[in-house]
Structure 1
Amino acid sequence: MAETTQRVLRLLGLLEARTTWQAHELATRLEVTERTVRRDVTRLRQLGYPVEAARGLDGGYRLGAGRRLPPLLLDDDEAVALVACLRMGALSGTDDVGEAALRALTKLDQLLPPRLHSLVAAVDGATRALPRNRPAVDLHLLQQLATAQRDHMLVRFDYRKPTGEVSSREVEPVRLMTQGEHWWGLDP
């Protein structure tokens, strides 16, 4: 059973790595038959992963857009990296991002297998975050700006000049950029 589970996880990794795979390519990579690939695709679908199949010369298997949130499967390195990043986000401020990171971290900590839990605890115990006074990040505003950029919408806001004078601006965000802990919305 463990071999089958590992193979299904490897199949999922392959589907995430490339847009479309033909059955014979997946069978070769996984060192199984095409029939086994079809069965493993069925297992992924039963787990909630939207694996699509297309017939023809350009056809094959592809991972579709999530119609529902499937179980999240991480390898050990991904889990440790995710926990480390969430801890940094949780420790870096008491704003929306820090609070969301702390909530996600609490959920993830409860799901880690014992061998990873001890590794993550070792990384956490060996590191410390330096206190910083970064500007608060309004997660709702960040989402609104990202949506405006995606949908090519104009955004209106008040701008305070270095002289203290306030003026109103209207821009179409082209990109949101972050450096360290600062965010900027860029317009053309």
Structure 2
Amino acid sequence: MTTDTPARLLQLLSLLQTPREWPGGELADRLGVSRRTVRRDIDRLRELGYPVQATMGADGGYRLVAGKAMPPLVLDDEEAVAIAVGLRAGAGHAVEGVDEASVRALAKLEQVLPSRLRHRVSTLQAATTPLTSGDGASIAPETLTVMASTVAGRERLRFAYRAGDGTESRRLTEPYRLVSTGRRWYLVAYDLDRDDWRTFRVDRVSDPFATGARFAPRELPAGSAAEYLRRSIQRRQETYEFTVAFAAPADDVAARLPRWLGAPEPDAGQGCVVRGATGDPVDWLAVRLAMTGLDFTVRKPAELIDCVRELGARLSRGAGA
């Protein structure tokens, strides 16, 4: 019998977070208490904001339903390890769709993981070889979680940085946002030593250290961190402009293309067009367009048109056509 009320509430909450309906008698047996105590504990959970729904009758019971806000989750050891391993795998390889929110979730989870579970997560990841596209650098998840915590806490961040030409330096920054392009992670931050905004490739960062010094956020000289990163990359690289028409609504295309490539605009009929600029190789862009699974037509540049044509012919030959 669980006599510790807080511990019993956590155990009850863990049971209710399993997607099924729990008869009151079964909950009472699991917890070693009376049905009356179960009803009181259910009322306590409701007071804490957990939307517990009750059904009447011989087969009635309790279940947790979707509410207006996200209440705290209670995870057992196996669930916590599974989530941490999944988030680490995605974060470490800049998987498209695994954005800063996922890294913040990982930072919160690892902050409260007991050392025995943290060791299990590290062991599992070390023994696992992820199947990735190979077009982006791997990153230690610890680097991302430190950065995410300083972004969320508005805390100054110090780290070592290796530039593209191999030059190494130490940076003291006010981190603003982490941005994933689908191939790499970038940190958008205010560089205090250079008194200006900068973008940093996270795979070139080492020894990140949260200084504990708080700061008031500065105004970014762009509409968003993603837009600032796009402009920054264009300034550093030799870029080319492209225009691609899709035979699909703009919302569908936006959900399948990285935001930094450009925002789809409505075109003739039910289609849309994407106009942008990038320094990525044309063969990578051709493959990325094909990965949307949508019909498209390249309008410019000629190099991209030729690349898409060659890619299509190569795939046809590979299929025996």
What is the TM-score normalised by the length of structure 2?
Answer: 0.38
8 Å CA contact 1:76–1:116 kept in 2: the answer is yes
Tell me the equivalent position of 2:28. 27
Amino acid at match of 1:141: A
Describe the shift of the 1:133–1:30 C-alpha distance in structure 2 as closer, same or farther (beyond 3 A).
same
Residues 8-38 of structure 1 deviation map (CA, whole Å, 9 limit, x = unaligned): 3332343333543332232233332011111
In the other structure, the counterpart of 1:107 is 108
Give the C-alpha shift of residue 50 in structure 1. 0.8
Partner of 2:42: 41
Aligned to 1:141: 255
Distance in 2 of aligned mates of 1:14 and 1:87 = 26
Distance in 2 separating the partners of 1:119 and 1:43: 34
CA separation of 1:21/1:79 partners in 2, compared to 1, >3 Å: closer, same or farther? closer
Describe the SS at the equivalent of 2:120: helix
Q: Is the 8 Å Cα contact of residues 96 and 182 (structure 2) preserved in structure 1?
A: yes
Q: Secondary structure at the match of 2:81?
A: helix
Would you say 1:54 and 2:55 are equivalent positions? yes
The equivalent residue for 2:80 is: 79
Aligned equivalents of 2:35, 2:114: Cα separation in 1: 33
**C-alpha displacement of 1:79:** 1.0
* Correspondent of 1:159 among 295, 313, 318: 295
Q: Which digits, 9 at most, give the CA deviation of each residue in 1:57-110, with x for residues without a partner?
A: 454322121221111211111111111100111122264425443332222222
Identical-residue share of aligned pairs (%): 46
Mark the runs of 5 or more structure 2 residues left unpaired by the alignment: 137-180, 184-251, 257-269, 273-293, 298-304, 310-321
1:15/1:21 contact within 8 Å kept: yes
Provide the C-alpha distance between the structure 2 equivalents of 1:54 and 1:159, rounded to a whole number of angstroms.
49
Residue aligned with 2:17, SS: helix
* CA RMSD between the two structures: 3.8
Q: Kindly tell me: are residues 136 and 2 of structure 1, through their superposed partners in 2, closer, same or farther at Cα, counting changes over 3 Å? A: farther
Structure with the higher strand share, 1 or 2: 2
Amino acid aligned to 2:135:
N
C-alpha displacement of 1:156 = 5.0
Secondary structure at the aligned position of 1:97 is classed as coil
- Secondary structure of residue in 2 paired with 1:52: strand
- Verify the 8 A CA contact 2:91 2:98 in the aligned structure 1: yes
**TM-score, normalisation: structure 1:** 0.60
Supply the distance in 1 between the matched residues of 2:87 and 2:105 (Cα, whole angstroms).
Answer: 7
Q: Would you say the 8 A contact 1:91–1:129 is kept in 2? A: no
Larger radius of gyration: 2
Render the CA deviation track for 1:92-143: whole Å, top value 9, x for unaligned. 22644254433322222222233323433444455565762389499x716x
